[in-house]
Amino acid sequence: MFEGFEEDIVDLGDSSVFVRHAGEGTPIVLLHGHPRTSATWHRIAPQLVRAGFRVLCPDVRGYGRSRGPAPSPDHAAHGKRAAAGDVLDAMRRLGVPRFHLVGHDRGSYVAMRLALDHPDAVDRLVLMDCIPISEHLSRADARFATHWWHWFFFAQPDIPERVIQADPEAWYRPKADPATMGPENHAELMSAVSRPETVRAMLEDYRAGLTVDRAHELADRAAGRRIASPLLLLWALRDDLEELVGDPREIWREWAEEVDGHGIDSGHHQAEEAPDAVAAALRDFFG
């Protein structure tokens, strides 16, 4: 897994970022979702390196082998602005001040925030399986709450930690098939979720989503801020995003200047289930 890639831990003071990286040429940064680590890209990153890109795969703040500060009462320590700042600072220290950016699931919200807060750093942007948090919440109904109940469960104080940490492997196993993920990717995920501080950080990500992240998005809309980078959306046709919100491109056109995209024949974890289709879409968009 990730043969030929280097691994670094970039110390940022009150946080540190674990990064896998390899290749030459135009840089692409890949941000994973919940509860994955950067290992989720193990079938895509080497394809992009072979296509002539420099590829960097960080663990998002608090996930995998990246570390953040202690959780804060307002959850901002694990908000997307803080996580995006980690990514940007780590890339700069690795000599990559500007890059193409890809985010999946929770990583897509970090990527969105980075593109909004630091437009000079993001060349082209790909977001996978998402619409803005505030857009989801403005549409929330019984169907959304039933499908995406974990957003609201994870936001509760203390209870999810007690439930998940009682048997982390049992909690995450139903959506973590080693045959689909690849055995090394699966082993890395199971190692990460066995650490109580990692589980806490991942839950803080969701708590931030319903509080500070939503507030930041609403402030963006009120101020008329939009994503300037060309935006490609990829969504899993065998997941429920389109069923819940319709064509996500229509929603994102209110947030970005230039939007395109299409569905991928995959379940939610596209990088693991449909790596060739995703890699081809990224090569075409970034090429």
Q: In this predicted model, what pLDDT tens digit does every residue of 54-113 receive, in sequence order?
A: 999 999 999 999 999 999 999 999 999 999 999 999 999 999 999 999 999 999 999 999
Q: Which is the catalytic residue, given 32, 136, 216, 268?
A: 268
Side chain identity at residue 198, one-letter code: T
pLDDT band at 12; cut points 50, 70, 90: very high
The CATH number for 6-286, chosen from 3.40.50.1820, 1.10.3470.10, 3.40.50.300, 3.40.350.10, is 3.40.50.1820
Q: Residue 182 has what pLDDT?
A: 97
Is 186 among the catalytic positions? no
Q: Residue 132 has what pLDDT?
A: 98
CA 63, CA 234: separation in Å to the nearest integer?
A: 23
Q: Which is the catalytic residue, given 21, 32, 42, 105?
A: 105
Q: What percent of the chain has pLDDT over 70?
A: 100
CA 141, CA 208: separation in Å to the nearest integer?
A: 21
Query: Which letter does DSSP use for residue 21 in this model?
Result: E
> What distance lies between CA 135 and its chain's CA centroid?
17
Q: In this predicted model, what pLDDT tens digit does every residue of 134-188 receive, in sequence order?
A: 999 999 999 999 999 999 999 999 999 999 999 999 999 988 999 999 999 999 9
Strands 16-22 and 27-31: unpaired
Q: In this predicted model, what pLDDT tens digit does every residue of 27-40 receive, in sequence order?
A: 999 999 999 999 99
Neighbouring C-beta atoms of residue 209, cutoff 10 Å: 24
Mean pLDDT for all residues in the chain: 97
Is 21 among the catalytic positions? no
Q: Would you tell me the crossing angle of helices 196-208 and 183-193 to the nearest 10 degrees?
A: 90
- The larger pLDDT score, comparing residue 175 to residue 196, is at 196
